[in-house]
Amino acid sequence: GNSVTQMEGPVTLSEEAFLTINCTYTATGYPSLFWYVQYPGEGLQLLLKATKADDKGSNKGFEATYRKETTSFHLEKGSVQVSDSAVYFCALSDPKSSSNTGKLIFGQGTTLQVKP
Amino acid sequence: DTAVSQTPKYLVTQMGNDKSIKCEQNLGHDTMYWYKQDSKKFLKIMFSYNNKELIINETVPNRFSPKSPDKAHLNLHINSLELGDSAVYFCASSQDLGFGQPQHFGDGTRLSIL
């Protein structure tokens, strides 16, 4: 079945450090991949997406590249800020199971804490 | 303007009670969803509706009954609340059921069962 696995959190970094949050997936088809961010007390917001192999999604200094050969979609940012502290979710939409249902499969979330 | 709005934001009630959570979206989307997020932040889909029609029901107990009076609203009614129902419930919407559509989330309703 389809699944998404993220690295365990929390990830604690100092301001201006480099961030990587690992995400790997299992899918029966060729999925679209997403990163969502959840700030404290809020709902999830779409951070970036990629729809096919080798696509790079980017937004607000974050980026992730769709790697079909390693079934990965790791999130990176060159220099994190305190305001980036949040929970980050990797998700997929698999055409074989999502067509006509809209279903997204989410990873378990990774908490990022950035200290000044 | 809030795109996806849920009410109430907090709901504290006793075991055995019946409660409802309301959701409205002003994005003109056709599809709406309910998710449950547990204490470990794990997010699981419960229901999806497209143009008021039920599409997904992910083995949710029948104590949970969604209702969609029109495509801009998807309410969630829960009967005979149990301790295990304590969670944050999120409403979301997407343009339609097309593959790869991003979803827009409300801010959540934190349900606490005493």
Q: Considering CB atoms only, which of A42, A49, A102 is closest to B94?
A: A102
Calculate mean pLDDT across residues B76-102.
93
Q: How many C-beta atoms surround the C-beta of residue B59 within 10 A?
A: 5
Residue B59 at interface with chain A, using a CB cutoff of 8 Å:
no
Tokens of A58: 């980017």
Greatest alpha-carbon span in chain A: 45
Amino acid at A109: G
Q: Considering CB atoms only, which of B45, B96, B107 is closest to A103?
A: B45
Counted across chains A and B, CB pairs separated by less than 8 A come out at 72
Contact predicate A104/A34, CB 8 Å: yes
Q: What is the pLDDT of residues A85-114, one digit of tens each?
A: 999 999 998 776 656 677 889 999 999 999
Q: What single string gives the DSSP state of each residue in A66-81?
A: -BTTTTB--EEESS--
Calculate mean pLDDT across residues B79-87.
96
Cα Rg for chain B, rounded, in angstroms? 13
pLDDT bracket for residue B1 (50, 70, 90): low
Q: Which chain A residues contact residue B106 at CB under 8 A?
A: 43
Q: Which chain A residues contact residue B99 at CB under 8 A?
A: 32, 93, 95, 98-99
Q: Supply the pLDDT for residue A29.
A: 77
pLDDT at B20 over 80: yes
pLDDT bracket for residue B100 (50, 70, 90): confident
Best B99, B103, B107 member to test A by mutation, with max A CBs in 10 Å, is B99
pLDDT at B89 over 70: yes
Distance CA B97, CA B32 (A): 9
Calculate mean pLDDT across residues B70-91.
96
Low-confidence ranges of chain A (pLDDT < 70): 96-100
